[in-house]
Structure 1
Amino acid sequence: MLFPRLARAVSQISKLRSFSSNASPLFSRCGYATVAQADDAPSQNDFPSKSPVNLDKLFWSKPCSLALPKDSPLRVDEPDYQGVRRFILKMLLFYSKQSTSIRGANVIYKRIIAQVDTPAIYDVFNLEKTFKITYSLLVLHMWLVLRRLKQEGKEGVDLGQYVYEIYNHNVEVRVSKAGVNLLLLTWMKELERIFFGNVVAYDEALLPDAKPNDLQIKLWRNVFSDDGTTTPDETDLKAAKAMARYVRREVGSLSLTDKESIFSGNFSFTPLENKASVT
């Protein structure tokens, strides 16, 4: 189980293959696929023009650690106060395990948002910038991180709970900014069901007895397809296959990333900006 407090939600939908394979009545009524853009995301007009991308050539390299170098400007290190200031902060529980975990969880979630909101991920996989697709990518990268945290046992699961709570608040803000305040509670319940349905689907797709194209099918249904049932054309099929390779590579790379870098958030998903120029 990913989170002790959400175990019931997971068990209730563990039999789902992929929630998004069935169209949601709520999202059909509210125009889920065309809701305003996510919080703090760049508008479509700000996105660069798409370059031709040869998807068949992408994401074949071997996984490698995603830890940020010690001299990376992207690193966020714990403040190392000394003397009286450190003593006072210790008294105020600034260095307690809970406080340290919350700070780490915030940095981790910023790494997820940085990957999901970058224009490059939409360009590379030929995706539109809609609420539905942005949310699908957010869930996918949350799953990648929570799966890695779970590998560290209870300590990782506990940290994952903090990440999930930050994610939940951020999604609420995004939905509210999308202009559906009157149905906010209903939307949040629906999005929670989608979240856990997708998590179960991706976990199943990586099981030893899963078929080779299971992950590709799940990604097609959850990310690319409007209703989860249509058959992809050749372009979309290539994009889904490329995303499956990307996901498998990130799974392997996160596993190779050391615990300290993961827990502190000092890692970065594979950059996609330079992929858009691959032909």
Structure 2
Amino acid sequence: MLWPFNRFRKSGSSPRGTIEPIYGMIVAQTREPLFYRHLNVPDTVEGRFDLLILHLWLVLRRLRGVGSELSQALFDRFCDDMDDNLREMGVGDLTVPKRMQKFGEAFYGRTAAYDLAWSESEAQLADALRKNILNGEHPDSAAGLAAYAGRVAAQLAALDDNRLLGAGWSFPSPVQQD
């Protein structure tokens, strides 16, 4: 399990240098306009957050085979980013922990739903994505997001660990080119 407060522990070596480029790629992909123009992802703070969780979940699934330290480091980077964003938006020090708890609950709820749906079928994943990202609307877009998630997962699975950790890859286009 990923723990949101492990970043406060003192540890000898940190995989931060490995994780930073990967997290940067995740954030950059969530800014891809095709998600918002062609797949009806709401171009809002919530829509972008939900898309970030989807990509984080996909990469964390792949990192399961590499080691828990790297998964934890990626999750910690996500927590640091959310904390920084809250503070930039002017959220006070006393409110940040409550908001971070809500982010954690959203992360765990969505990833649990995605894990369960993934084990069932692409249609189940589409339903989970429609509920969590598309506000219960746009079933065709949800199917497109599920297909995209499948392409990302297949691409990540095909990478050897060195290429994955070296960020020597990129996410596919959100919209499949015919």
Shorter-chain-normalised TM-score: which range? 0.7 to 0.9
CA positional deviation for 1:212: 4.7
Superposed counterparts of 1:195-210, under 5 Å:
195-207=107-119, 210=120
CA positional deviation for 1:246: 0.5
Which of 174, 184, 205 in structure 1 is aligned with 2:96? 184
Paired with 1:245 and 1:212, the residues of 2 have a C-alpha distance of 7
Q: 1:258 to 1:168 in 2, by over 3 A?
A: same
Superposed counterparts of 1:88-167, under 5 Å:
98-99=13-14, 101-152=15-66, 156-167=67-78
CA positional deviation for 1:173: 1.7
Higher relative contact order (CA 8 A, sep 6+): 1
Paired with 1:250 and 1:132, the residues of 2 have a C-alpha distance of 22
Paired with 1:140 and 1:106, the residues of 2 have a C-alpha distance of 18
Identity of matched residues, % = 27
Paired with 2:144 and 2:70, the residues of 1 have a C-alpha distance of 30
Higher helix share: 2
Which of 51, 72, 80 in structure 2 is aligned with 1:169? 80
Count of residue pairs the alignment pairs up: 170
Paired with 1:149 and 1:180, the residues of 2 have a C-alpha distance of 32
Paired with 2:118 and 2:41, the residues of 1 have a C-alpha distance of 24
- For the residue of structure 2 that corresponds to 1:98, the secondary structure is coil
Which of 115, 121, 124 in structure 2 is aligned with 1:214? 124
Structure 1 unaligned runs (5+)?
7-96
User: What is residue 168 of structure 2 aligned with on the other side?
Assistant: 266
Which of 226, 238, 241 in structure 1 is aligned with 2:140? 238
Q: 1:119 to 1:178 in 2, by over 3 A?
A: farther
Structure 2 unaligned runs (5+)?
5-11
